[in-house]
Amino acid sequence: MLLIVILSHSCKKTPAEKPGFTFAFLTDIHVQPESNATEGFKMAIAKVNELKPDFVITGGDLIMDALAQTQGRADTLYDLYEETIQDFQMPVYNTIGNHEVFGYYEESGVDSTHPLYGDRMFEQRLGKRYYTFEYNGWRFYILDSVDEWEEGGYYGYVDREQIAWLKEELAGVDAETPIVISVHIPLITVFTQFYEGSTVPNGRGLVVTNSKEVLDLFREHNLTLVLQGHLHTCEDIYVEGTHFITGGAVSGKWWKGANRGFEEGFLMVHVSGDQFKSEYIDYGWQVEE
């Protein structure tokens, strides 16, 4: 049975009406040869193609893991992802997640001198880790929210290079232009507070630790929508004209069924002028017992 949850949103108005369009947001795919994950991903792609969006944005964690894997295993997963996304019938814009980062954990057997260490593997395989594009009067920013923690592992952080780039980019963007950000680790979430208690702080690996600095760059702009991943749950947080939507997970509970009641799925975003609505679509995959 397919479950479709529809959320309607009214965004800030601008004088000129813009042509409508749709796009899909697929996050936390975690493709791998095991657990029928490739078959599940192909089912999601088939559903996207059936819905015919104008383009696709992926939200990170595209492969099962490169953080703690050998280069051979990481290459296998990247190969599988690159091969599978050829089934999409529309352009795909990729966002880097923590599991695309190579070698941060010692199990990988490499260090920072490796030519593909960190986000360099993603950039070699899938392109820039941060960039912008425009579609029908809307401006999209794809950001890298993952950095290496000094004591090992990763944490949520938008680095100085991106901050400087955003300042320069936004200087040339009209204040009324609707803006969408895609980021893997959330800028804003209530995940910890909902599941663990209202006064429990978020961990550094759960949210972008300098999110206020990032969001302050957009204060004089029309930041309409922030698309987020990482948590394998759905959220819609509305703050001062901006919707922060955490987009579930194509893989659900890492291809082991629903996660916290959220089925395997993805978002469809429908844009009309300066308004949008989003749907979370369960594309019908079922874990094999």
The residue among 47, 124, 134, 63 whose CA lies nearest residue 93 is: 134
- H/E segment holding residue 121: helix 120-126
Distance CA 230, CA 183 (A): 9
User: What does the alpha-carbon distance between residue 227 and residue 243 come to, in Å, rounded to a whole number?
Assistant: 8
Q: Is residue 128, in this structure, part of any structural domain at all?
A: yes
Give residue 8's pLDDT: 43
Mean model confidence pLDDT for the chain: 94
1 pLDDT more than 50: no
Q: Is residue 289 included in any domain, yes or no? A: no
* pLDDT of residue 255 exceeding 80: yes
Lowest mean pLDDT among 8-22, 109-123, 252-266: 8-22
In a domain? residue 288: no
The average pLDDT across 105-124 equals: 97
How crowded is residue 6: how many other Cβ atoms within 10 Å of its Cβ?
A: 11
91: its two tokens: 């352009």
Give the residue numbers spanning the domain of 39: 4-282
Mean pLDDT in residue range 245-267: 97
pLDDT in tens, 204-248: 999 999 999 999 999 999 999 999 999 999 999 999 999 999 999
Bigger pLDDT: 19 vs 17: 19
What is residue 13's predicted lDDT score, i.e. its pLDDT?
A: 41
Note whether residue 135 is domain-resident. yes
Lowest mean pLDDT among 150-154, 169-173, 230-234, 274-278: 150-154
Predicted local confidence at residue 69, as pLDDT: 97
- In the chain, the number of structural domains is 1
Alpha-carbon dihedral sign for residues 147, 216, 10, 14: negative
The identity of residue 191, as a single letter, is: F
With a cut of 60, say whether residue 144 has pLDDT above it. Answer: yes
| Distance from C-alpha of 239 to C-alpha of 92, rounded to nearest angstrom | 28
The answer as to whether 98 is a domain residue is yes
pLDDT category at 73 given cuts 50, 70, 90 is: very high
Q: How confident is the model at residue 289 (pLDDT cuts 50, 70, 90)?
A: low
Could you tell me if residue 287 is inside a domain?
A: no
In a domain, residue 73? The reply is: yes
Q: What is the CATH number of the domain that holds 273?
A: 3.60.21.10
Whether the predicted pLDDT of 11 surpasses 50:
no
| 161 occurs within a structural domain | yes
Tokens encoding 41: 């991903």
pLDDT of 116 higher than 90? yes
